[in-house]
Amino acid sequence: MSSLAMTFFYLILSILAVDFLLERFLEYLNTTRWSDMLPKELVGIYQEDKYRKSQQYLKVKQKFSWIISCFSFAAMMTLLASGGFVWLDHLMRSFSDNPIILSLLFFGILGVGSSIVLIPFEIYSTFVIEERFGFNKTTMRTFILDKLKGWLLGAIIGGGLLSLIVWIYLSMGNYFWLVVWGVITFFMVCMTLFYSNLIVPLFNKQTLLEPGALRDAIESFAADTGFNLRNIYVIDGSKRSSKANAYFTGLGMKKRIVLYDTLIQDHTISELVAILAHEIGHYKMKHTRQGIVIGVLQTGLMLFVLSLFIGKDSWLAADLCQSLAGFSEYKAVPSFQLGILAFGMLYSPLSLILGLVNNVLSRRNEYAADRFAGERYNPGALQEALKKLSVNQLSNLRPHPLYVFFHYSHPPLLSRLKSLNHLISGDLLETK
């Protein structure tokens, strides 16, 4: 192995190791915030028995997450050190020498193989941990069907997109990344527009919210804010979990708001309208479009950097692929699949930085949407809704600030309540 290939190899190992240790350190910081007694800042939010249950849930989940992380880390390091990825590439070449078929076989086996290996962990998480704490509603039949549907979708959509990208890579020379960027941008926009219409129905049933007091209240608020709302759907989230949620999706005439049936069961009409007001706030302030634009720009950056590593004239491509041979004697054949796999690992530090920026922006947008809902509807109702959502899901309400910085796309509950309190105080002052 050349010195450059060996440098890439050790750099990949270092990146994976640092990432693993960083995650374990962040999880440890969260444990320092756990308490057997109900903290005073949570009085009025959690009841003592519910709080103790939430602490047990967090401890069980973190322990299980630690086991999965250690297993995944050990498996990845073993594959890298032994040259497992290059061995698989050689094995696939005994079936075909077509670059597109090779990529499909390579990533297909890795994807399905890793999914199968993780199935026992997923079963334990769903049918033991989530069941123990009263969340699981998934049947084994639903679990199996979800897996089969996921694999089929991955084969059709993922396989089709991968085939097109490899063909562009082979056909377009060093500027392949510009065409791929256009293809992925088109795909992202299509998913934003049609995900709820085409993908969600394969897994969940969506029905229009029936006429009644709730629909009247939502439509009245939407009209007051100038939000043209035609599609309010209820999704059968209780099919899998008792946890509740709501989300906004789509653009233009394709926009829709989706409420989980579990959300409707647990909240009052005013709380539900406050939640919907928050989602409408995201749309009115163009957060959805902002997210698409940022995603497109970051994708372009990633593809440009990728072209420097695996472009046709790149002097890095052969050494990059060879780095995956590890300590073995395998000779890697420069290829799209090996190059993009190695690049993905090397790119992860930059991906982490971009993710941190996204999280900061996302948290700011959440505050803005909260403010919209508070100003245009009812800050107190939104506070009560947020409290119920957090308590019913046994959420960690005292995460360490550094963990929040790295992982939270939404501000912690206490921060959101404090922000809304300022809004309530301001309203009171104006009233006086």
- Of 177, 179, 184, 181, the closest CA to residue 161 belongs to 184
- What long-range pairs does 31-40 form, CB within 8 A, spacing at least 24? 31/62, 32/400, 33/396, 33/398, 33/399, 33/400, 34/58, 34/59, 34/398, 35/398, 39/398
Separation CA 133–CA 261 (nearest Å): 20
233: helix, strand or coil = strand
- Whether residue 419 contacts residue 427, with contact meaning beta carbons closer than 8 Å, is answered with no
CA distances from 70 to 21, 77, 134, 223 (A): 10, 11, 27, 52
Q: For 211, which DSSP code? A: S
- Whether residue 393 contacts residue 243, with contact meaning beta carbons closer than 8 Å, is answered with yes
- Whether residue 346 contacts residue 8, with contact meaning beta carbons closer than 8 Å, is answered with yes
Separation CA 379–CA 197 (nearest Å): 32
- Whether residue 254 contacts residue 235, with contact meaning beta carbons closer than 8 Å, is answered with no
Neighbour count for residue 337 (Cβ, 10 Å): 22
- What long-range pairs does 193-201 form, CB within 8 A, spacing at least 24? 193/250, 193/251, 193/252, 193/254, 194/254, 195/249, 196/233, 196/249, 196/250, 196/256, 196/258, 197/254, 199/153, 200/235
Non-local (6+) Cβ contacts of 350 within 8 A are 305
- Whether residue 332 contacts residue 89, with contact meaning beta carbons closer than 8 Å, is answered with yes
Residues assigned a catalytic role: 279, 370
**Block residue for tokens 């947020």:** 386
Q: Give the chain's length.
A: 432
